[in-house]
Chain A
């Protein structure tokens, strides 16, 4: 391992050791004396948004859902199902595909080394055949149908299609049933060859472990870097303003489901500056829509929103939007009032509100890092965002009220706004 560095984080009372493997992979080990269950998370920046890329001299286009399909196939293992290998040591495991990343993890109270070997083996080795790919199709179709039955899932992606013209975030990570039916073994092989390279892996481990021994074991499991053929993500050019001010669809809902979103013209990028922008956006959203906001309270008291009202921020390197949504019998009123409240919020927030919201955010973040799996997951996410573990706590402490007001002003603008409404079928 190269460039080994150990840091103690006093705010969360954690000690992390960061290292870069010979092949370029990054590793973080968080030593947690006294914890009985250890965790390892591995991930890479390859997700459902990676639909078009250059692989050597070829341009590859894959259907939406390909990254998720490949995640499923990795669990089959080359010679033995990963399920069986983890079951033998009693480990809990899972994986996940987001828009930009794929992650795999396990937790174990015994035989952690054996589990780590399994994890690092199957993410670096896959056997893709037509028969194996075909076998998975029915399972994934059922997973996609399960999500498709959720109105909120459907509504969020309708909002994505209103906010973005061409960005792949318009597609859900699993794709549609039709997308799943189009995915072939060749699509998955191309994705594997382009992105599942040992040097792209990011590995986070937490537990009552000796970091030096863990790093040595990881180094021993990692395969040499695969530097060819070269890979280039082909980015879709996305106009800076929403694709539609309002999209409506009939859906299987009893009452209208209403969503309003505000997008940034572009994403904040990665690294500390991206994280800082994300934190500012998150605080801005809390100041407007948290239960402790008089803006939210006013909307609630006047019956514009009910207790199902929710707001969230979705950000990665090349997109960023805030959204609010809920059920309403008066969608037009909901949209007008919620949008108006957010877009006039800048002048209604006060510095003491900001301090209180920041204090709460600190408390929630610091206490969310409880289990080894939570800590390892946090550290992996940080690496995939190209920031140091626990960097969010330091950045949060340094944010200023005037910066949040500026962020609110940038984000909550009419020209950045789009909306989506699911109306009851036949209603």
Chain B
């Protein structure tokens, strides 16, 4: 492992934290800067903002100019995106570059890249007549996004997941797609973009993570300089936790080949470390891979699905199960999920099942040391959940989980919504 402990969290500016793991063995370095704000009515504007910022800056006034700068830097990448993480709208800027030890002597990549990441946010290319952005760029990127929103249903799997979350979490921020809908996106103006840009930079909570052949000090100085003038941002709102009543069953139809099945449970994370690990192992035994009950019963025994899996959406507190099936098998798959969960609650997993799940999770924790991207994602997740656990500590905690503890924690998920996107009936 590159580090046996969770790296120290450096507060480099008000509301700006940095996690850094210097690991020269990684061939590629990355710096991710996550700006977190609430998922709200401004989310469509932020989604469009990210697209517009990628179209050029004052110093690199086109998408082409930015792309060329990255090619010059030996295939560096600068990516911006906005997504939903729990009930937060997360705006991510990721810069990655080849470790300079692999490049010809004297190659200097990083000194130009960090300012570039700042430049796209701080000095976007302005429009004529004092407009915050070029009107034709705003119009073009907005139109692209409107069309993309209109086409979302073409990807059946992604569409089904979005519809499932919209039904299950109706009236909760998590149920709203961050890009909004066509009308909301079409109404975004250039002034809106400038407002949400400034608000994100001044009022978003910033978490930066640097991993790989990097030096902490220059990155710390870079972030401190960038964000030095901001005030402490407000805390993010608490996650909405709704206690479900009767389980709801929702069926929608769309032309297609395969039905998409989703089953959602409310499942807030346990407060204690042992409980969290037991719940995670329980979800793994239920549907965490080829060792799981659902994979074996639904796929291997009944040949009903190519894949079926369960996952914990920790930040929101949901357990969800998903599978691609024939629509006529939906009730059987739902009942199988219920039956396996009930059995695990009653009798706990067999020791062998628990061992398989534990070994898989342990291997994934060890594998964090082999991938800068996976390690960065792990560090960010731990930090936003307020857990800050070192992978090695988690491995030790996993080893002490018993079948009885798993059974107890699996009492936690409460059925909420069963959703099926079925092919349209002829």
Contact = CB atoms under 8 A, between A and B. Distances in A.
Interface of B: 1, 25-28, 51, 62-64, 66-68, 70-76, 97-99, 102-103, 140-141, 144, 147-148, 150-151, 153-157, 254-258, 290-291, 299-300, 302-306, 324-326, 355-356, 358-360, 362-364, 366-367, 369-372
Interface stretch (A43-51, A157-165, A250-258): A250-258
Contacts of B362: 90, 109
Given A12-B102, A366-B102, A109 B367 contact: yes
Given A90-B359, A363-B103, A370-B370, A143 B306 contact: yes
Query: Which interface residue of B326, B363, B372 has the most chain A CB atoms within 10 A?
Result: B363
B151 A327 contact: yes
- In order of increasing CB-CB distance, the 7 nearest A-B pairs are A90-B359, A363-B75, A363-B74, A138-B303, A360-B75, A292-B67, A291-B67
Contact of A146 (B255, B258, B356, B360): B258
Contact of A370 (B74, B356, B372): B372
A138 B302 CA distance: 9
A145 interface: yes
Given A142-B306, A142-B325, A142-B326, 11 more contacts: A87-B291, A88-B355, A90-B362, A107-B367, A145-B324, A146-B324, A254-B150, A307-B51, A357-B71, A360-B71, A371-B371
Contacts of A363: 73-76, 97-98, 103
A362 B356 contact: no
A356 B68 contact: yes
Nearest to A297: B64
Given A327-B151, A360-B75, A364-B75, A83 B98 contact: no
Given A109-B367, A139-B299, A297-B63, A146 B306 contact: yes
Contact of B27 (A329, A362, A369): A369
Nearest to A255: B151
A369 B374 CA distance: 15
Contacts of A83: 290-291, 300
A37 B367 contact: yes
A114 B87 CA distance: 44
A254 B151 contact: yes
A359 B366 contact: no
Given A12-B102, A149-B258, A359 B359 contact: no
A356 B72 CA distance: 6
A90 B291 CA distance: 10
A370 B75 contact: no
B363 A109 contact: yes
Contact of B71 (A13, A34, A359, A368): A359
A254 B99 CA distance: 43
Query: Which interface residue of B67, B75, B153, B372 has the most chain A CB atoms within 10 A?
Result: B75
Nearest to B355: A88
Nearest to A257: B154
Contacts of B356: 87-88, 90
Given A292-B67, A362-B75, A37 B102 contact: no
15 contacts: A13-B102, A87-B360, A88-B359, A107-B367, A110-B363, A136-B303, A148-B257, A252-B154, A290-B71, A307-B141, A327-B151, A356-B72, A357-B71, A362-B74, A363-B97
A181 to B, nearest CB: 13
A149 B326 CA distance: 13
A367 interface: yes
Nearest to A300: B63
B298 to A, nearest CB: 10
B154 A151 contact: yes
Contact of B26 (A88, A296, A297, A370): A370
B27 A370 contact: yes
A367 B255 contact: no
A392 interface: no
A267 B256 CA distance: 35
B359 A89 contact: yes
B346 to A, nearest CB: 23
Interface string A53-91: 000000000000000000000000000010110011111
Contacts of A143: 306
B75 A359 contact: yes
Interface residues of A, number: 68
A360 B27 contact: no
A179 to B, nearest CB: 14
Nearest to A89: B359
A11 to B, nearest CB: 7
B412 to A, nearest CB: 25
A318 B129 CA distance: 57
Nearest to A135: B303
Contacts of B67: 290-292
A387 B366 CA distance: 32
Contacts of A359: 71-72, 74-75
Contacts of B71: 290, 292, 356-357, 359-360
A137 interface: yes
A330 interface: no
A140 interface: yes
B280 to A, nearest CB: 15
A109 B299 CA distance: 27
Contacts of A12: 27, 102
A29 to B, nearest CB: 17
B68 A253 contact: no
Contacts of A136: 303
B359 A139 contact: no
A386 interface: no
Interface in A279-338: 290-294, 296-297, 300, 303, 306-308, 327, 329
B73 to A, nearest CB: 8
A329 B299 CA distance: 40
A202 B76 CA distance: 33
A243 B371 CA distance: 44
A361 interface: yes
A306 B144 contact: yes
Contacts of A146: 157, 257-258, 306, 324
Given A90-B363, A92-B360, A307-B51, A142 B153 contact: no
A380 interface: no
Contacts of A142: 258, 304-306, 324-326
Contacts of A329: 147
A137 B153 CA distance: 28
B328 to A, nearest CB: 12
A36 B3 CA distance: 13
A142 B308 CA distance: 11
Contacts of A366: 27, 98, 102
Contacts of B359: 87-90
Contacts of A367: 27-28, 75, 98-99, 102
Nearest to A143: B306
Nearest to B372: A370
Nearest to A88: B356
A108 interface: yes
A300 B62 CA distance: 11
Contact of A360 (B70, B291, B358, B360): B70
B98 A254 contact: no
B367 to A, nearest CB: 5
A249 B360 CA distance: 44
B399 to A, nearest CB: 12
B258 A145 contact: yes
A204 interface: no
A409 to B, nearest CB: 23
Nearest to B152: A254
